[in-house]
Amino acid sequence: MTGIPATPPGPGVRVALLLAGTAASRAGLAVAYRLAGEPAGGRWQRTNYAGRALTLLGGPVLAAAATGTAVAGAPAGTRLAAAVVGTVAGLVGGYDDVVGARPEQARDKGLAGHLRALRAGRVSAGAVKVAGIGAAAAVAALLTRDPRAPLTVALGDAVLTTGLVAGTANLVNLLDLRPGRAAKTTVLAAAATLGGPAGGLVAGPLGAALGVLPDDLGERLMLGDCGANAAGALLGLRLAVGPESGRGRRWALLAGITGLTLASERVSFTRVIEATPGLREVDRLGRRRA
């Protein structure tokens, strides 16, 4: 990978990025709540699993705050890649949030649903999202390639980067089925990867996720595909470009993410979490009673 500095930004810089991400998301939420009360905000209104009405505008807020601060904190050679994956994942996720909610697309969920729609001659909003995130991930692989690497190594790195960005974007979105779950995942994953030369890339997104987390847990908003996909794509880019993660470790991460994605077609993550001590308590922490 290119553009990774020999020494990471100091703790003060990362703290500043974290605070900037939190401030940006809190300022964005103030605007989002005003928009939610306007006629234009109606298309972003949803009813959650507990029957409570809330807005999906928390997603664009998280996507914008996380992407902007990720670009500011990313190593020079990965800034454009961060801008591409965060922006595109947020845009196509938002498209799926709005268009995918239409009655004619209600059954087009999951890989099986997107394939059924294609066989019927329709392109689902989810398929547009998958294609958009996949393309953005491939562009990120091109932007962060090492021009000195042999062809076989370069191709392997391209597969890893594309897979990790697209796969993590999808996985975080799959977890966004209960209040705070995707935001907590983003916080924990960003905190775990905050060290190392590329750790500045996730310092701002960590703060942005912390900024929306109380409102997400309080069921005043949802992140939706827009917020979850953007946050996940940025986390995936961090996993892909960190030089401290050898190729073997990155292949193992990609295999795990792929396995979880395939399992989600048949297994309910919510059911597994509720049945697993420890995971259940972390998942419920801070959440309103149903």
Q: What is the pLDDT along the chain (290 residues), one digit of tens a residue?
A: 554 545 667 889 999 999 999 999 999 999 999 999 898 888 899 999 889 999 999 999 999 999 999 999 999 889 999 999 999 999 999 999 998 876 666 666 666 666 666 676 667 778 889 999 999 999 999 999 988 989 998 999 999 999 999 999 999 999 999 999 999 999 999 999 999 889 999 999 999 999 999 999 999 999 999 999 999 999 999 999 976 668 899 999 999 999 999 999 899 999 999 999 999 999 999 998 76
Helix, coil or strand: residue 209 = helix
Q: Is the pTM of this model over 0.75?
A: yes
pLDDT for residue 40: 83
Q: Are 238 and 113 in contact (CB under 8 A)?
A: no
The pLDDT assigned to 137 comes to 98
Confidence at residue 114, expressed as pLDDT on a 0 to 100 scale: 60
Burial of 41 (0-12, 13-18, 19+ CB in 10 A): middle
Question: Structure tokens of 69?
Answer: 């601060």
The one-letter amino acid code at 105 reads: Q
